[in-house]
Structure 1
Amino acid sequence: MELQTKIPLKSSDNPIDYHSKLVLLGSCFVENMGKKLDYFKFQQMQNPFGILFHPLAIENLVQRAIQEESYQKGDIFEQDGIWRCFEAHSYLRSKDSGELLQLLNQRLTETKIGLEASSHIIITLGTAWVYEHRDSNKIVANCHKVPQKQFTKKLLSVTEIESSLNNLVGMIRKMNSLAQIIFTISPVRHVKDGFMENQRSKAHLFAALHQIIKGHSVSYFPSYEIMMDELRDYRFYGKDMVHPNELAVDYIWQKFKSVWIAKDAYPIMDEVEAVQKGLMHRPFNPDSEAHQKFKTSLRTKITYLQERHSFMKFD
């Protein structure tokens, strides 16, 4: 008896292994998959400018990075003694304008280097709703709790999204023709926009992305569909009834792993996980002989991994 409608998945012919270099950009679902990849010590760069919810924000970041359009004083603003940037997440801030500009431009350089070296680029689209700053007439990535009267809210059309994604793919391909681009649509529902409005938003993303998949050699991973069809139960959501909970994230990760992680990477993942669990172990008696032997064994495992994969770092 089948109690789920299963989303058909096909294994990639260009899977991720421990030689791969990943760049993850987009909405908060990037953070979920990024944490898993980080836990298993894959080589990755994750949202260097923080969470980016809509396609225009991702396109803008990639364009700035590739074209080396450095941030200037006019690109940042001061609010309550803190300098911020409408193109970056709120955690990128400083009390000093020069310090913020240095940080933003350093992240731009890192983004360009990451994109140039990447073997896989994972892009998660969250919403088609955007906010336009009235004074500058620019679409922002983050409103930073600036009063809403300073913005105009609008829904990107399918044509606008398709154009943005075309530009995004084109820029990446021109710089790094070998990178595998993987798109997903976030399963997180933006219900603060309204329930009908969220559906319209996701529909626009799907319609535009369908055209991109048809027109370019890019891939798609159905995280949204898995959440909506295979996990259609509130026991898979967090307390807000919107975000996938840990169980749901683990489930979607296993699906992603089955199609996008190379099978010969699994034994190494098992070794890494054994070390991670060891590092989380809290002994009853830290000075005991048994615990000292355990620590020695753990250090040996870490050394063995790092001898083969020098990029791996463990806390």
Structure 2
Amino acid sequence: MKLKIDFEIAQNELAQTWPSFFMLGSCFAQNQAERMAQLGFDVLSNPFGIIYNPISIQNLLQRISNNTAYTETDFNQRNTVFSWEHHGDFKYSGVTPAVETSNVILTTARQAAQKADVILLTLGTSLVHTHNDIPVANCHKIANHEFEQKQLTFDETKTSIEHSISLIKQLNPTASIIITVSPVRHLRSGIIENSRSKAVLLAALHEVLRSVTNVTYFPSYELFIDELRDYRFAKEDMTHPTPQAETYIWDRFCETYFSATTRDIIEHVKKYNLFAAHRPIHSANEHVQKVAEKRNTLQLTYPFLKIK
């Protein structure tokens, strides 16, 4: 008896045994980046916080690619100081620390993007909120009446994705580019609006993929919606994938992009992580010593690991 849809994903094995990653996009991208970091990958994800829509991703890539420093005019002051380009987690006590901190982060982001073997974008929605006709990455808990919600057209979405790819290639011509659509559904605007938003993203993205090179699509959205078509794979909000679902999608990502050697190293790191996380009932000092020994052995065997 067949109980679910299974589909093949084309192999796109990366050239590097242990590639470095630079990632921008939704909370799903952030969760997977945290998983990568735990496994010892060199990864920088969302340096200015989670970003959901293609316009905001494009704007940030534009700043990173052109190395456009932040100035006082890029920030707003309400109860705190913030930028419409950044996630709501980025708040400052004054304009000067906002500018200084943001430019330090910008430098780090640019360096990471320039040296990354893989740049991965996760698109969350083609619904955009604007403030005085300017698209924002986050509403920073400002009153709803100050914003307008707009559904990007197919052409607007396509053009934005094209610009983002072009900016990445200017910044890092040799990087492999992976683009995916987040499986997280944005239901605050309505379930029909969410479906339309995802449809526009998917249609525009696949049209772009027809005419670019060294860019691949990974079907995170389809894996969650079709292969894992059961609410037991969704959290209580019925929109976000459970850890089990995230692990399943990650495993399919590994099968698609990593060599057998890379996957074998991942298994070694996972075993180390399990051992390190164990809390012994007796002889804690002995366990700490064994963890250090195993870590040193792992690091000597695979010196490229970024074990924290």
Q: TM-score range by the shorter chain?
A: over 0.9
Match of 1:119 in 2: 117
Match of 1:85 in 2: 83
Q: Return 305-314 or 194-203, whichever deviates more.
A: 305-314
CA distance in 2, matches of 1:272, 1:39: 9
CA distance in 1, matches of 2:162, 2:171: 14
Question: Is 2:143 aligned against 1:144?
Answer: no
Aligned amino acid, residue 163 of structure 2: N
Aligned partner of residue 210 in structure 2, secondary structure: helix
Match of 1:296 in 2: 289
Aligned amino acid, residue 14 of structure 2: N
Match of 1:309 in 2: 303
Aligned partner of residue 122 in structure 1, secondary structure: strand
2:158 to 162, 169, 193: 162
CA distance 1:15–1:198, change in 2 (3 Å): farther
Once the two structures are aligned, what percentage of the paired residues are identical? Answer: 33
Deviation digits for residues 84-118 of structure 1 (CA, Å, limit 9, x no counterpart): 11100111111122111111111111121111111
Aligned amino acid, residue 210 of structure 2: K
| Deviation (angstroms), 1:294 | 3.1
Aligned partner of residue 188 in structure 2, secondary structure: helix
CA distance in 1, matches of 2:40, 2:22: 14
Q: Note the 1:158-197 alignment, pairs <5 A.
A: 158-197=154-193
Give the number of aligned pairs.
Answer: 306
| Deviation (angstroms), 1:239 | 0.6
CA distance in 2, matches of 1:168, 1:83: 27
Aligned partner of residue 191 in structure 1, secondary structure: coil
Match of 1:202 in 2: 198
Aligned amino acid, residue 66 of structure 1: S
Match of 1:274 in 2: 271
| Deviation (angstroms), 1:28 | 1.1
Match of 1:64 in 2: 63
Aligned amino acid, residue 303 of structure 2: H
Match of 2:75 in 1: 76
8 Å Cα contact 1:24-1:45 kept in structure 2: yes
Match of 1:255 in 2: 252
Deviation digits for residues 222-257 of structure 1 (CA, Å, limit 9, x no counterpart): 010111111111100001011111111111111111
Match of 1:35 in 2: 34
8 Å Cα contact 1:132-1:154 kept in structure 2: yes
CA distance in 2, matches of 1:275, 1:75: 44
Q: TM-score of the superposition, structure 1-length normalised?
A: 0.93
8 Å Cα contact 1:16-1:120 kept in structure 2: no
CA distance in 2, matches of 1:85, 1:311: 34
Q: TM-score of the superposition, structure 2-length normalised?
A: 0.95
Match of 2:8 in 1: 8
Deviation digits for residues 33-52 of structure 1 (CA, Å, limit 9, x no counterpart): 11221121111111101100
Aligned partner of residue 50 in structure 1, secondary structure: coil
Structure 1 gap ranges (5+): none
Aligned partner of residue 215 in structure 1, secondary structure: coil
Aligned amino acid, residue 6 of structure 1: D
Match of 1:109 in 2: 107
Q: Return 214-223 or 110-119, whichever deviates more.
A: 110-119
CA distance in 2, matches of 1:171, 1:24: 14
How big is the alpha-carbon RMSD for the aligned residues of Structure 1 and Structure 2? 1.4
8 Å Cα contact 1:16-1:260 kept in structure 2: no
CA distance in 1, matches of 2:34, 2:257: 16
Aligned partner of residue 192 in structure 1, secondary structure: coil
| Deviation (angstroms), 1:207 | 1.0
Aligned amino acid, residue 14 of structure 1: L
Q: Return 260-269 or 152-161, whichever deviates more.
A: 260-269
Aligned amino acid, residue 306 of structure 2: M
